[in-house]
Amino acid sequence: MELSLAFIASSLQRSYPVALRGADGYFRQIDNPYHIDGSPTFKTARILMKAHPTKNIEKYLSIACEGDDFGPHTLDGISGLIWIGITEPPRGIDSLWISAQASATNVFYQVLNLFDYYNEWENELRDMLLKRRPIKEVVAKIGEVTDRPFWYADTKLHVLYMSDSPELAEKSEKWRHQKQTGRYPNDVISTLVASGELDLINNHPHAWIFDGANSRTYSMPFVSKTINLNGSVYGHIFIIEDEPGHAACDLALAETVGNLVATYVQHGYNSGGSGKRYTEQLLRSCLSGDDVSVDERTGLLAMLGWSASSDFAVVVFDRCDASNGRKEAPPVQVDQIAWRFPNARVFSYDIYIVLVSEIPARGFDAFIARIADSCNELGWRAGISNELDDFQELDSQYGQATIALRKGAERNPTSRVYLYQDYSMDYICQRLNSEINEHLLIHPDIERIINHDRENGSELFQTLKIYLANERNVSQTAKALYLHRNSVTYRIEKISSIMKTSLDNADNRLSIELSIRLWESRKRCEPE
């Protein structure tokens, strides 16, 4: 965040006698927002303890004390000066003058902390916008950096968000009306339009509207920031100045929020490359499970040209040349997949290259075949989610694809394509085994058969597994085990004599089949 001298002065004046003086030698009012345009802004941490003549310095703020030696070129390249001392600061540079004896080190750290605090706040705003949080939630972050009441309104001055202000609600009828109805009173809107003040807001980067002879807009002065987008108004941020001396600070905060909102909204709705980046932002939010509204998902489908009634799938590609400390894939690798699937959206996400695609009717098998061909050509592996008809479930599908890739690579390292439907039971069993005691999961008849195999060297467990997998068909089981049909029949009879429950019961059969999978999953996880 860039802070002006007026902004810094509004903070330091609580601790020191502070004044602003321009390069022209004239003093300025700290709390007058019209003077902000005339004072320089500075980026974070580019602060010097003492002015020096280093050239090619951009937007440096220097801190100097009375008695420092200033030659004719000392201030060259420095945009602003914090001057500490009884005598006036040198001319020729915008200055913040602390007219008292003060520790330069203390002042330095106060200013540095100010930059750090507001930069962290601004970064949080950016994160919220990247995650597509509602604009009113972004505006609500103003409440973390100012105690003044504020509100956010749309182009028609309907209130979309209003901060809590019990004291103001007690003494302002108009504030109470806004709080109760969610909009300005009609007489206020009429006054804004008739007086031309609304035009002033709309056509100026910022405006200071106050209670005076020529303005009856509000019972108290306030600063405003109009969010302009592509030549039209997107919304308004208002902060009431119920205490004197804070206008410069609050106007800078309102402008920061308003400019960020305008930048990200415009970035989202532009076409071409910006539109592509916007769709990827929304898809990333969907994959991570962030709160993406139904309207945003509907708009995303429209931008992608996909139908809400279609099926969708998510694929994650694991590049075999990636190291253990993998970073996002380079664009050239993303492009290798993107050109093979022009109708899908492909981008780097987490440690993977992710593909999100609409699936044509009865086209999932062909889609899987194309993924397999791409992996064979590139030497990569891919995990593929189930095919779902709900665009709201992209985060679940992303989880399915990553599970398929991880479990598939463990079970079948020579393969290149892994479907979640083939590994879902393995994953479920692994999770159950890790959270529930095996004696609560494994059917007692399975334990009896395993114990019999251990004691007698038989293979009844494997026979039962294949028998159930073949829908209890003896001939198919014999073929799968390379045994004579009579041998399989003998084994099944032996299994039935050991078991205390019947395979004719569907619920019991399901429990036994699940127990077989859980047992095998547990054995795979045991160290050799």
Note the pLDDT tens digit of each residue in 369-387.
Answer: 999 999 998 889 999 999 9
What is the pLDDT averaged over residues 115-128? 88
User: In terms of pLDDT, which residue wins out, 477 or 42?
Assistant: 477
Closest to 250 in 3D by CA, of 207, 216, 202: 207
User: In terms of pLDDT, which residue wins out, 355 or 148?
Assistant: 355
Residue with tokens 């910006």: 274
Span 332-346, pLDDT tens digits: 788 888 888 988 999
Of 227-241, 340-354, 382-396, minimum mean pLDDT range: 227-241
The first and second tokens of residue 177, run together, are 């009306």
Q: How far apart, in whole angstroms, are the C-alpha atoms of residue 202 and residue 222?
A: 15
Evaluate if residue 451 carries a pLDDT over 50. Answer: yes
User: In terms of pLDDT, which residue wins out, 125 or 34?
Assistant: 125
Helix 460-469 vs helix 444-456: crossing angle, to nearest 10: 130
What is the pLDDT averaged over residues 482-488? 91
Evaluate if residue 93 carries a pLDDT over 60. Answer: yes
Confidence (pLDDT) at 312? 92
The H-or-E segment that residue 25 falls in is none
Question: For residue 198, what pLDDT band results from cuts at 50, 70 and 90?
Answer: low
What is the pLDDT averaged over residues 71-81? 71
Evaluate if residue 359 carries a pLDDT over 80. Answer: yes
Question: For residue 31, what pLDDT band results from cuts at 50, 70 and 90?
Answer: low
Confidence (pLDDT) at 73? 66
Evaluate if residue 89 carries a pLDDT over 90. Answer: no
Evaluate if residue 16 carries a pLDDT over 80. Answer: yes
Q: What one-character DSSP code corresponds to residue 228?
A: E
472: phi then psi, degrees, rounded to nearest 5: 60, 35
Q: Which residues contact 278 (CB under 8 A, 6 or more apart)?
A: 267, 268, 269, 270, 303
Kindly state the percentage of the chain with pLDDT values over 70.
73
The first and second tokens of residue 486, run together, are 């009579």
Of 202-211, 335-344, 350-359, 380-389, minimum mean pLDDT range: 202-211
Which stretches does DSSP call E strand in 134-245?
Answer: 150-153, 159-162, 207-209, 222-229, 232-240
What is the pLDDT averaged over residues 299-312? 82
Q: How far apart, in whole angstroms, are the C-alpha atoms of residue 488 and residue 478?
A: 6
Confidence (pLDDT) at 163? 84
What is the pLDDT averaged over residues 420-448? 74
User: In terms of pLDDT, which residue wins out, 247 or 57?
Assistant: 247
Span 212-228, pLDDT tens digits: 334 444 445 667 788 87
Evaluate if residue 56 carries a pLDDT over 50. Answer: no
Of 24-28, 271-275, 516-520, minimum mean pLDDT range: 271-275
What are the beta bridge partners of residue 228? 233
What is the pLDDT averaged over residues 103-130? 87
Of 143-152, 439-448, 454-463, minimum mean pLDDT range: 439-448
* CB 54 within 8 Å of CB 62: no
Of 76-80, 125-129, 310-314, minimum mean pLDDT range: 76-80
Confidence (pLDDT) at 528? 45
Question: For residue 405, what pLDDT band results from cuts at 50, 70 and 90?
Answer: very high
Question: For residue 74, what pLDDT band results from cuts at 50, 70 and 90?
Answer: low
What is the pLDDT averaged over residues 462-488? 91
Domains of the chain: 3-117 (3.40.1390), 141-269 (3.30.450.40), 303-431 (3.30.70), 436-525 (no CATH)
User: In terms of pLDDT, which residue wins out, 55 or 347?
Assistant: 347
What is the pLDDT averaged over residues 385-399? 88
Mean residue pLDDT of the chain comes to 77
Starting from the edge strand earliest in sequence, which strands make up the sheet with 47-48, in order?
A: 27-28, 18-21, 94-98, 78-84, 60-65, 47-48
Question: For residue 57, what pLDDT band results from cuts at 50, 70 and 90?
Answer: very low
User: To the nearest 5 percent, what fractions of the chain are helix, strand and coil?
Assistant: 50, 15, 35
Question: For residue 135, what pLDDT band results from cuts at 50, 70 and 90?
Answer: confident
Confidence (pLDDT) at 214? 43
Evaluate if residue 235 carries a pLDDT over 90. Answer: no
Evaluate if residue 45 carries a pLDDT over 80. Answer: no
Of 162-171, 248-257, 502-511, minimum mean pLDDT range: 162-171
Closest to 408 in 3D by CA, of 355, 372, 459: 372
What is the pLDDT averaged over residues 95-114? 89
* CB 128 within 8 Å of CB 137: yes
Evaluate if residue 436 carries a pLDDT over 70. Answer: no
Confidence (pLDDT) at 384? 94
Confidence (pLDDT) at 356? 94
What are the beta bridge partners of residue 41? 4
The first and second tokens of residue 164, run together, are 């809590």
What is the pLDDT averaged over residues 17-23? 87
